[in-house]
Amino acid sequence: MQFLAFIGFTLIVAIISYLKTRSTKESTLDGYFLGGRSLTAGVIAGSLLLTNLSTEQIVGLNGSAYESGLSVMVWETLAAIAMVATAMYLLPRYLKGGITTVPQFLQDRFDTSTKTITSILFLTGYAVVLLPIILYSGSIALSGMFDVPELLGVSKSTALKICIWGIGVMGSIYAIFGGLKAVAVSDSINAIGLLIGGLLIPVFGLLLIGDGSVIDGLSILTTEHPEKFKSTGELTDPVPFYTIFTGMMLVQLFYWGTNQQIIQRALGAKDLKEGQKGLLLASFIKILGPIIVVLPGLIAFHVFNGELGNADEAYPALVKKVLPNAWVGFFAAVLFGAILSSFNSVLNSSVTLFGMDVYKQHINKTASDRSVVRYGKFFGIILAILAMMIAPLIEDAGSLFDYLQEVNGIYSIPILTIIVVGYFTKRVPAIAAKIGLITGCLLYILSQFLLQPYFIEKALTEAKLNGVVSESAIALVEAKAYPHFLDIMAILFVLNIIIMLIIGKFRPNSQAYNMEYTKQVNITPWKHVNTASISIVVVVIAIYIYFA
């Protein structure tokens, strides 16, 4: 029965996506890569939310909340402010220039080689890190939920591979053969299911704690574990509070404002009004995100008395304990939708970057739209197969969320830097952008993978010689031994900007850059954009003050 519910809901999503997209001209660049520039606010918001939300986040953030408390909600709440900034400042410029990819702007502002370097950085990050991790973490969740090894009579390893290839093939069909509109439509449908299913878990959890009363359950939870309900993280927490004002906001701005995987949904808006409404709707819903990706972790801490061996077991264990059997198939289907969404969104963005910024730019400059789409799809198939082959090799899914954030810093901050400088200056030359990209990547790698391990190991050795043995004391030593990776991001962001401005001072472009309005879409802003944006920011600040 559970499996039939899973198959039924999944098929409904696929059929609706097909019916909604069969009239879109996928042979054109805008049709395939941007959904014909026809996406409306609701579709954009749903796609943004589900593209962001997947198993590595649902499982990983709830695991972090189980361990560290409410402070990890910063990954959700601060995203709302980043989306506000994108809606107000970045999206109008993107749509004015009629760009299809973020690197395309860099070509217009700097030069072709800057665009190519950026596209390669994006593709490398997607192919080597994101796609395999999405497949692996999603397969672990589904395999455990349906007990696939017992169901099929195979080993855990074989069951994992079956799930990986199943998700990979399904995601590839959506992303490669359906284009952005198929991805966005399926996302918006699954987003509704995920919100419903995601809300059920904390509701059933609180009902369990409160003996049939959600209010009593919440009261017991907050009364017995007040230390878990602090919005400000300590120095030893995954996200110390002060990092909100250093690198955290930069990470959020990069993700929601410049990351091709995300911003491509807003680039497909039929006009600026719809794009802004979509972003702001998503940002408002994002404020409620901790109910799905943080609260269950806190509930699990109470239910299991903090005795789980691995924090990342918190969410799966809670689902298994509180969700009625009749709901398991539905919840597995929407969770599958979230996994699929992240996979096919990254894959679709990779196809877009390859087709527009590599194939048409360097392989066949005279290629027709149909040819670019065809070879982009071929690249997508190869990339998907590669990801499905790499995914089973990943051994430790428990620390993936924090690891992802840190590793992504290799390319996220350098790219954000050159986009910011590109938009807010007019004469900084292309050589400055290339130097900013290369030095930013190299310095971050030097910091996080050479200097950080050295200084932490040195500090721990000295601490042990001085008799420091408790876990809390060792964690404090590690935290003080080297700056947090978010601090390093902020330092390198400022340093890169200074370097680029100095180069621009002594070697400025002879002509000032002015973005031309391509008139591909109407860029009249939504009349309520300022009011809605201010309201969202006020709500976020109020939440932090309340839980501080």
Could you tell me if residue 52 is inside a domain? yes
Based on the fold, state whether residues 36 and 165 are members of the same structural domain: yes
Measured in degrees and rounded to the nearest 5, phi and psi for residue 269 equal: -65, 145
Q: Give the ranges where 306-399 is alpha helix by DSSP (H).
A: 314-322, 325-353, 369-390
pLDDT of residue 4: 62
> What pLDDT does residue 273 have?
92
Say how far apart CA 509 and CA 131 lie, in whole Å.
Answer: 39
Residue 324 to residue 227: CA distance in whole angstroms: 30
Pair 380, 476 in one domain: no
Residue recorded with tokens 């807010």: 424
Statement to judge: residues 521 and 502 lie in one domain = no
- Find all residues with CB under 8 Å of 39, minimum gap 6, and list them: 47, 181, 184, 265, 268, 269, 270, 274, 278
288 and 164 in one domain? yes
CA distance 304 to 470: 23
Tell me whether residue 19 is in a domain: no
**Do residues 208 and 217 make contact, with C-beta atoms less than 8 angstroms apart?**
yes
Residues 418 and 477 in one domain: yes
Please give the C-alpha separations between residue 326 and each of 3, 192, 499, in angstroms, as whole numbers.
11, 19, 59
Backbone angles phi, psi at 271, to 5 degrees: -165, 175
Residue 39, classed as helix, strand or coil, is strand
Question: Can you tell me the distance from the alpha carbon of 118 to that of 116, in angstroms, rounded to the nearest whole number?
Answer: 5
Beta strand residue intervals within 394-512, DSSP E: none
Q: Which of 239, 235, 242 is CA-nearest to residue 476?
A: 235
Residues 239 and 317 occupy one common structural domain: yes
Please indicate, yes or no, whether residues 501 and 530 belong to a single structural domain of this protein. no
Q: Are residues 116 and 186 in the same domain?
A: yes
pLDDT number for residue 428: 94
Task: Report yes or no on 458 lying in a domain.
Answer: yes
Instruction: Check residue 397 and give its pLDDT.
Output: 44
Q: Are residues 366 and 411 in the same domain?
A: no
Residue written as tokens 């702007």? 105
**pTM for this one?**
0.80
What pLDDT shows up at residue 479?
A: 80
Question: How many structural domains is the chain composed of?
Answer: 2
SS (H, E, C) 384-426: HHHHHHHHHHCCCCCCHHHHHHHHHHHHHHHHHHHHHHHHHCC
Q: Which two tokens stand for residue 95?
A: 């749509």
Q: CA–CA separation, 394 vs 140, rounded Å?
A: 11
Q: What is the pLDDT of residue 400?
A: 55
Residue 20 lies in a domain: no
Q: How far is the C-alpha of 251 from the C-alpha of 254, rounded, in Å?
A: 5
Tens-level pLDDT at each residue, the chain (548 residues) = 555 655 665 566 556 555 555 554 444 444 444 445 667 888 888 778 776 777 777 877 888 888 888 888 888 889 999 999 999 988 888 888 877 777 778 888 998 889 888 888 878 877 777 788 788 877 877 776 677 788 788 887 888 888 888 888 877 776 555 544 555 566 666 667 777 878 889 999 999 999 989 999 999 999 999 888 888 878 878 888 889 888 899 999 998 988 877 887 788 888 889 899 999 999 998 888 888 889 999 999 999 988 887 777 788 778 878 888 777 777 777 777 777 777 777 777 777 778 877 888 888 888 787 787 778 778 888 888 888 888 887 755 445 566 677 778 888 899 999 999 998 899 999 999 999 999 999 999 999 889 998 998 888 888 888 777 677 778 788 888 899 899 999 999 999 999 999 999 999 998 888 878 877 788 889 999 999 999 999 999 999 888 87
The CA–CA distances, whole Å, from 269 to 50, 136, 177, 308, 518 equal 17, 32, 21, 45, 15
pLDDT at 536: 94
Distance (Å, whole) CA 102 – CA 104: 5
pLDDT of the residue at 186: 60
Structure tokens at 475: 């964690």
Report the candidate in 203, 303, 228 with the shortest Cα–Cα distance to residue 64: 228
Is 97 inside any structural domain?
A: yes
CATH number (domain holding residue 331):
1.20.1730.10
Q: Is there a single domain that holds both residue 194 and residue 260? A: yes
Same domain, 324 and 471: no
Determine whether 95 is exposed, middle or buried from the number of CB atoms within 10 Å of its CB (0-12, 13-18, 19+): buried
Q: Give the model's pLDDT for residue 185.
A: 61
Q: Is 269 helix (H, G, I), strand (E, B) or coil?
A: strand
pLDDT of residue 398: 45
Q: Based on the fold, state whether residues 307 and 366 are members of the same structural domain.
A: yes
Is residue 221 domain-resident?
Answer: yes
Q: Is residue 22 part of a domain?
A: no
pLDDT of residue 250: 92
Residue 323 sits in which domain range? Answer: 2-9+30-393+517-547
Q: Is residue 525 part of a domain?
A: yes
pLDDT of 496? 94
Q: How far is CA 292 from CA 1, 59, 80, 528, in A?
A: 26, 10, 15, 28
pLDDT of the residue at 219: 93
